[in-house]
Amino acid sequence: MTVPRSWRDSKKIRQCRPHPVTDAPFAIPDSKVGQLDTLLHNSGVLGLIDTELAGRPGPGGLPVRTVLVGLLLSLHYHQSATLADACRVLLDEVTPTARTWLAVTDMDRHDLHARLAFSRRVYRSFDRLTSALDPYRCDRRRRLPTDEAAAHAAAWEDEDAEHLRRRRLLQEISDRLVLVTVHLAHRRGLFKGWKGDIGIDTTPVPAWHDEPKTHKSLASVEITAGWHYCAGSTEGIFGHSATLLVAGSRRQPTGHPRAGRRVSEHPQLALGLVLDTPGKRIGPNAIHALGALAPFGFPAGVLAVDRAYTDQTAPHFAEPARRLGYRLVLDYKQNQRGVQGSAPSGALLVDGSLACPAVPTRFAHATTGLDDGTVRAMDDQLTELIAQRRPFFLKTKQAADARGTIRLQCPAAGPSPSVNCPRFHHVHGTANARPKAVDLTNLRATAAHSAAKTAVPIPTAERLRPPPKNELPRICQKPTITLHPGGLGPHDKFRQDFPYLGPAWHDAYKPIRANNEGLNGRAKSHRIDIGDPKKRLAHGRAAQTILVALMVCTLNLQILHDWHLTSGTPPTPETGFSGFKHDGHLTPTAYTSTGIPPP
């Protein structure tokens, strides 16, 4: 094949290359600076930060507000949360008017020494913030000996009053940076049709620094980082773990009522974020994020979580989640499926649901020992067994109260029993009841007849010689029982509100877990990538918490923008918002006809 002559001419090749329109730096419109500055003010973090830094010695330096706005602009336009990129944005890309708003004094931006001096001011301002929020400040520029690093890391775990106060303040700042975007969506009315379904997942946030060197007795620069093991992986990721909440949605059991392709009724925003050491406080971190949503007044719907949360003790996760009003949808490991225990009343705990003590063995152990592949790709036989054991589950007679106490009923009791139990008829004197005539042409009446119900298999010996009433399980003596929080002991963490692997469980668990994975994918995409440590190079957990919170805040703004574009509905005017001036310099941002500040 003959190569064209132009391909061999280096001058012509250079002429064919694309050239930028201009070499001038990118110009960020003042409206975007004002929009992000307004968002930062509305979050309330600036007041918390100013109060914390008020009594610290030394000059005030560059305002923390300037650094945070620079980081938000850098994330929005360059997908980076590094201080170096924030410096370039503040010096080269914002207009002189916006620099005046942000208290960036006039300087010769072309003077190398002036630029270096400004960058040092940015770094010192951010370091002043992280030092004030760090429970135990240490040298973050070098590896510490293992014993010295352990003393500093203990400040993130102990019960010291000052350490607790700083950790709570850091988490409150992180919560406000994330929830300000939820406030924005809520004011626009984007959660009107949301039922309160939430998915929780923990995703790794890798660290830039190397892991500890045990043979040299040296710790990592990130003294609170650890090894995060994803489900099914034997190789850990060194860094921190981020607990993320997503606004999920369920499928309808019989299909979506609207014709055509199903469209989500709300944006799937990140509703909460907690950054922590891998494997530490998995359940309490999720409960904290759920509690932070209480002021919004959202409904409490379904809470779908993976097996990491199923392993948490009931007081750490299941009990407080139920007190908040959520219904749990859980998954189990291979050795946790099947019969998981029993209640004091004699009822069996079968895959998270309390069942009749006389449930057939093949139904109770339908999932015992099954691996994940078999459960996720259920065959017809397993599907039939799951369906046949459902009538044996205890029925809910009274929903949970404020303490989480519920009332359950024997499946053979009540006006609409689901099984036909000879033991129940003998104990409660209904065996000789006069049968009722039924119209066989009425399908509903035929299905409600006792002869059409599933029969409870009672042993032949018990049929011939019924035991005394006091020797039977309590659920058989008294058809209604009260189940208090923690009433199942250590097995209470397995209890859930939908029959495992049933239609209702699939319609809730699978879509919400898909929402979780979708949020994780967007959080680690080419736009905002919390999984790339090169985009957040600051040292220390306090710095990482703030930077990841800013990244999730920017991610939510992108989700809101994309949701309006894909749904075809323009944003409605916000309610309950009043403009204000930025430190006496920035006037309220002019709103467009769509109700939001200009881009």
CB 353 within 8 A of CB 323: no
How would residue 599 be classed by pLDDT, with cut points 50, 70 and 90? very low
pLDDT at 468: 85
Model confidence, pTM = 0.86
Tell me, yes or no, whether 287 lies in a domain. yes
d(C-alpha 590, C-alpha 586), whole Å: 11
CA dihedral for 488, 491, 493, 496, sign (positive or negative): negative
Average the pLDDT over 298-324 and give the result.
Answer: 93
Tell me, yes or no, whether 9 lies in a domain. no
d(C-alpha 492, C-alpha 314), whole Å: 6
d(C-alpha 558, C-alpha 556), whole Å: 5
Give the residue from 480, 495, 510 where a domain finishes.
495
Domain count, the chain: 3
CB 501 within 8 A of CB 386: yes
Say which residues have a Cβ less than 8 Å from residue 413's Cβ, sequence separation at least 6: 424, 428, 479, 480
**Do 323 and 341 reside in the same domain of the chain?**
no
Question: What percent of the chain is predicted at pLDDT more than 90?
Answer: 52
Three-state secondary-structure class, residue 1: coil
CB 201 within 8 A of CB 174: no
Strand pairing class (419-420; 454-455): parallel
**Do 170 and 234 reside in the same domain of the chain?**
yes
**Do 100 and 237 reside in the same domain of the chain?**
no
Tell me, yes or no, whether 579 lies in a domain. no
Q: pLDDT of 466-523, one tens digit each?
A: 888 888 889 888 889 888 888 888 999 999 999 999 999 999 999 999 999 999 999 9
Q: Which domain holds residue 157?
A: 144-256+263-330+499-569
Tell me, yes or no, whether 98 lies in a domain. yes
**Do 396 and 503 reside in the same domain of the chain?**
no
d(C-alpha 92, C-alpha 434), whole Å: 91
Cα angle value 552/553/555 (rounded, 5°): 60
If you ran DSSP here, which 8-state letter would residue 586 be given? B
Q: What is the mean pLDDT of the chain?
A: 85
For residues 109 and 203, the model is more confident at 203
Q: Is the pLDDT confidence value at 210 over 90?
A: no
Cβ neighbours around 538 below 10 Å, total: 19
Give the residue from 445, 478, 495 where a domain finishes.
495
Tell me which of 200-209, 233-242, 256-265 is least confident. Answer: 256-265
CB 505 within 8 A of CB 542: no
d(C-alpha 478, C-alpha 230), whole Å: 46
pLDDT at 447: 59
pLDDT at 589: 39
For residues 83 and 430, the model is more confident at 83
Give the residue from 133, 160, 187 where a domain finishes.
133
pLDDT at 109: 78
For residues 211 and 580, the model is more confident at 211
Rg of the chain over all Cα atoms, to the nearest angstrom:
30
Q: pLDDT of 334-364, one tens digit each?
A: 999 999 998 988 899 999 999 999 899 999 9
Tokens of residue 260, six digits: 């055509």
Which candidate, 411, 407, 429, places its Cα nearest to that of 420? 411
**Do 190 and 294 reside in the same domain of the chain?**
yes
Question: What percent of the chain is predicted at pLDDT more than 70?
Answer: 86
Q: pLDDT of 259-273, one tens digit each?
A: 444 556 889 999 999
**Do 350 and 436 reside in the same domain of the chain?**
yes
**Do 72 and 192 reside in the same domain of the chain?**
no
pLDDT at 456: 84
CB 242 within 8 A of CB 203: yes
Tell me, yes or no, whether 138 lies in a domain. no
**Do 162 and 299 reside in the same domain of the chain?**
yes
pLDDT at 580: 34
Strand pairing class (327-329; 302-305): parallel
Say which residues have a Cβ less than 8 Å from residue 398's Cβ, sequence separation at least 6: 406, 407
pLDDT at 11: 72
Q: What phi, psi does 325 have (nearest 5°)?
A: 100, 5
pLDDT at 27: 86
pLDDT at 19: 66
CB 58 within 8 A of CB 64: no
CB 409 within 8 A of CB 480: yes
**Do 467 and 543 reside in the same domain of the chain?**
no
Kindly state the greatest CA–CA separation across the chain.
104
d(C-alpha 236, C-alpha 280), whole Å: 15
CB 164 within 8 A of CB 197: no
Cβ neighbours around 557 below 10 Å, total: 22
Q: Where are the alpha helices (DSSP H) in 257-310?
A: 282-291, 307-310
Element of type H or E holding 341: strand 339-342
**Do 518 and 544 reside in the same domain of the chain?**
yes
pLDDT at 579: 37
Q: Is the pLDDT confidence value at 59 over 80?
A: no
Element of type H or E holding 518: helix 503-523
**Do 380 and 367 reside in the same domain of the chain?**
yes
Tell me, yes or no, whether 11 lies in a domain. no
**Do 273 and 312 reside in the same domain of the chain?**
yes
Q: Is the pLDDT confidence value at 55 over 90?
A: no
Q: Is the pLDDT confidence value at 439 over 70?
A: no
pLDDT at 119: 93
pLDDT at 552: 97
Cβ neighbours around 21 below 10 Å, total: 5
- CA 116 vs. chain centroid, Å, equals 40
CA dihedral for 77, 83, 84, 87, sign (positive or negative): positive
Tell me, yes or no, whether 67 lies in a domain. yes
How would residue 572 be classed by pLDDT, with cut points 50, 70 and 90? low
The residues pairing with 243 across neighbouring beta strands, listed in sequence order, are: 202, 274
| CATH classification of the domain holding 235 | 3.30.420.10
d(C-alpha 244, C-alpha 15), whole Å: 49
pLDDT at 35: 92
d(C-alpha 231, C-alpha 306), whole Å: 9
Tell me, yes or no, whether 576 lies in a domain. no
